Structure 1
Amino acid sequence: MGPATFPHDLVQAQRDWFAVCEALAAPRPHATAALRRRLMRLSARVWGHPFWSSGRGRSPAARVELRRLVRSQQREGAGTP
C-alpha cells in the first residue's frame, strides 16, 4: 500500500488516543475513570471516522499505516528540542 493521506482530525484523534493510553499506563494514573471515558470516545472517533468508508481507507493496512504514521511523528517530535 502506498502512503495514505489521512485527514487531520483522524491523525489528531489517533495521537490523542496514544496519549491517553500512555497516561493510563503510568505507575499511578490520576482520574482513571475520566481517562477511560476519554479513551472510549477517542476509540469511537478513530474507528468510526468516515475515512474508513472511502476507497483509500477500506484496506486493513490503512489502519496500521495510521498508527505507524502517528508513532513516527511522535518519535520525530520527541527528538527535537
Structure 2
Amino acid sequence: MSRRTLLQNAAIAGAAAVPVLLAGARSAGAKMSQTAVAYQGSPKGSSKCSNCKLFEPPSSCKSVAGDISPNGWCKIWVKA
C-alpha cells in the first residue's frame, strides 16, 4: 500500500467520523457553539433561523448555544 493510498484512506475515515461525533454530541444534550456552526445574525437568502427545523421561538436553537435571532442563519440550517 502506498503512502498516498494510506493518507487518502485516513482522510476518508476521519471525514466519515465527523457526522457521527456531531450526532453523538447533539443526542447527549450538548449544544454546539455559534462559532462552530458559522452562525451569523442575518439570513442567507431565504434561509433563516425562523424557518429552520431546529429553531425554538423566540430566540433559541435545539443544537446551537446562546441567543439566536429569528433572522439569523448557520451552516446546520434545516428546512422546516
Q: Do they fold alike, i.e. is TM over 0.5?
A: no
Higher-Rg structure is 2
User: Which structure has more RCO (C-alpha within 8 Å, separation ≥ 6)?
Assistant: 1
Q: Considering fraction of residues, name the structure with more strand.
A: 2
Q: TM-score, normalised to structure 1's length?
A: 0.28
Q: Tell me which protein shows more helix as a share of its residues.
A: 1
